[in-house]
């Protein structure tokens, strides 16, 4: 991986996804329960690095039955996982100055990343650009695109054609 996380010349694409708690009441907010990323060279579509970690929220009681139904992550699964502050350096290094890609990341994942960094008092990583497959799929499938799960192959293929 590039040892200089503040470099402006980081052409890689970072495909990432989050799993979070599901708020049970107004104003409760989300807590990240899992972060996963794959760093890809867009010219050759080669995986350069991957990282994934469960994340222990500050308050385990936020993991409600609704959260477990949505993502399958239980309190028991994260009780010994690192907190977000413990993985923040790795997350920042993967994301900062790179193109971010994923499904529905503009409205959800990017916002949650910024919130998580703000909560620990650190500057959030900044993308070089964003590829959101929700926007690409909405053009093809309309409103149904928001409920579709996209495989990495589709995202990689989209990125490949955007960066030829």
Report in angstroms the alpha-carbon separations of 153 from 81, 119, 133, 160.
Answer: 29, 33, 11, 10
pLDDT given for residue 140 in this prediction? 73
pLDDT given for residue 143 in this prediction? 65
CB 1 within 8 A of CB 49: yes
Chain segment 120-152, per-residue pLDDT in tens: 999 999 999 999 988 777 777 776 655 554 444
Q: Is the pLDDT of residue 107 over 60?
A: yes
Fold of 13-22+30-156: Nucleotidyltransferase; domain 5 (3.30.420)
pLDDT given for residue 100 in this prediction? 96
Q: What is the mean pLDDT of the chain?
A: 85
Chain segment 35-62, per-residue pLDDT in tens: 999 999 988 889 999 999 999 999 999 9
**Rounded Cα–Cα distance for residues 26 and 42 (Å):** 40
Q: Is the pLDDT of residue 5 over 80?
A: no
């Amino acid at each position: 991986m590039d040892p200089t996380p503040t470099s402006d010349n980081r052409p890689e694409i970072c495909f990432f996804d989050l799993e979070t708690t599901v708020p049970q009441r107004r104003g409760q907010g989300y807590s990240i329960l899992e972060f996963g990323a794959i760093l890809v060279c867009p010219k050759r579509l080669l995986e350069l690095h991957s990282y994934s970690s469960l994340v222990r929220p500050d308050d385990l009681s936020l993991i409600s039955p609704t959260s477990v139904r949505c993502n399958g992550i239980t309190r028991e699964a994260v009780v010994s996982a690192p907190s977000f502050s413990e993985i923040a350096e790795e997350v920042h290094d993967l994301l900062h100055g790179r193109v971010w890609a994923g499904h529905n990341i503009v409205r959800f994942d990017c916002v949650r990343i910024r919130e998580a960094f703000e909560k620990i008092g650190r500057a959030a990583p900044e993308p070089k650009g964003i590829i959101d497959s929700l926007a690409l799929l909405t053009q093809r499938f309309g409103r149904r695109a928001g409920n579709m799960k996209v495989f990495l192959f589709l995202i990689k293929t989209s990125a490949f054609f955007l960066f030829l």
